[in-house]
Amino acid sequence: MDFQLTEELRQLQLSVRRLAQEKIRPRAREIDASGEYPQDIFDEFRRADLLGLCIPEEYGGSGAGIMGLTLAIEEVTKYSNVLGLMLLLTRLPTGPIMIAGSEEQKQRYLPGVANGSERAAFCLSEPGAGSDVAGMRTTASEDPGVTGGYRINGTKCWISGGMQADWFVVFAKVGDPNLRHHSSIRAFIVDASAPGVTRPRVDQKMGVKGIDTTEIHFDDVAVPADQVIGGGFSLIMRSLNAMRPIVAARGIGLAEGALMYATNYVMEREAFGKTIAEFQGIQWEIAKCATEIEAARLLTYRAAWLADQGMFSKEYVPALSMAKYYASEVAVKVSGVALQLLGAAGYMTDHPTEQFYRDARQLTIVEGTSQVQLGLIGRGVLGHDLWWD
């Protein structure tokens, strides 16, 4: 067992840490306040070659894997959860293509994301089907005029980066949408400019501002045969399983950022004739948060390592889901403690603690809520996928 990062990963971690301190820390509050898409930071990521971290070298990426992306997102999210999301979006929609796409699809769609000339989004959730993925109502019917082609009809919602995306991975059911057959679900690559695609609504969110979530309508959208990925329900699950450490990285990064900020504050703030850092009650709060962050980090790095070994099928679900569940809950907890440690100051917009607190709440909802993760972990233990003898 080796707890050291390789020299390459360590250098990546240090270089992203510098970029985050120099470029992201000064911009994070402005991005939150304006809610505008931070194109300048996207350009910084492109120049630093961070958009293709998890894309293999043969498709234009740097091949740093899920571990590399996890480390980069952790560093970035110490200052901005939305910029962690910006990096995450290089993997979420490309994942199904890397897992189940054809060689032609990989060559057509992966290099553009890696070099920043294209952006993509992942369209799974629907107004009536979030956690209940198999309840989706979007349909894909065979296009009578086009061999192997389909026509997609339906509505997807809360789609991160939907407004900026040049293409989407869309999940839809072939056949009767009332049926819950796992094999009826397929993945499709849909060009955002295709006739019948509209983006009528952008959500007003409490946090993670700067990258919108969007409703997207598909009205008889033609998808040619070479844009059908296929898959089934298991492709959704494998895609999301491999993402667990990447979402978890946002949780640990956010918690680290919030705790570092609050720790610096308590060493300056005086009450009762001393700094509040001198009170044991304050030290214990910091110690508990630090311990939970490190536990979440270990789960997250192990999950990233597993995913990079291709270990993201059903039997690895408990280990992957624990990372996402625990790291996102730690982010919520630590951001709350950090705000409390600043007292009134923490509640005001003069400090980033209120933003950490708002931004953290997203993490226990997206890509499988905490309750959904607990269900997956519980079933894994009941089925002995996680067992200790």
Ligand X SMILES: Cc1cc2nc3c(=O)[nH]c(=O)nc-3n(C[C@H](O)[C@H](O)[C@H](O)COP(=O)(O)OP(=O)(O)OC[C@H]3O[C@@H](n4cnc5c(N)ncnc54)[C@H](O)[C@@H]3O)c2cc1C
Residue 135 CA to residue 173 CA, distance in Å, equals 10
123 binds ligand X (CB under 6 A): yes
Instruction: Determine the interface stretch with ligand X among 65-73, 119-127, 192-200, 230-238 (rule: CB under 6 A).
Output: 119-127
208 binds ligand X (CB under 6 A): yes
372 binds ligand X (CB under 6 A): yes
Neighbouring residues of 337: CB distance < 8 A, sequence distance ≥ 6: 259, 262, 285, 288, 289
Q: Which of 239, 308, 297, 312 is closest to 13 using CA atoms?
A: 297
375 binds ligand X (CB under 6 A): yes
Residue from 125, 241, 300, 353 that binds ligand X (CB under 6 A)? Answer: 125
Residue 249 CA to residue 74 CA, distance in Å, equals 5
**Which CB sits closer to ligand X, 17 or 333?**
333
Residue 140 CA to residue 223 CA, distance in Å, equals 9
130 binds ligand X (CB under 6 A): yes
Nearest-CB residue for ligand X: 130
Instruction: Determine the interface stretch with ligand X among 31-39, 115-123, 247-255, 337-345 (rule: CB under 6 A).
Output: 115-123
Give the 3-state DSSP-derived string for 23-76, with helices as H, strands as E and coil as C. HHCCCHHHHHHHCCCCHHHHHHHHHCCCCCCCCCHHHCCCCCHHHHHHHHHHHH
Residue 156 CA to residue 136 CA, distance in Å, equals 9
Residue from 59, 109, 122, 168 that binds ligand X (CB under 6 A)? Answer: 122
369 binds ligand X (CB under 6 A): yes
365 binds ligand X (CB under 6 A): yes
Q: How far is the CB of 146 from ligand X (least distance, A)?
A: 26
Q: Is 30 a catalytic residue?
A: no
Question: Do 229 and 105 contact (CB within 8 A), yes or no?
Answer: yes
**Which CB sits closer to ligand X, 62 or 138?**
138
Catalytic residues: 367
Chain residues that interact with ligand X, rule: CB under 6 A: 121-125, 130-132, 158-160, 205, 208, 213, 362, 365-367, 369, 371-372, 375
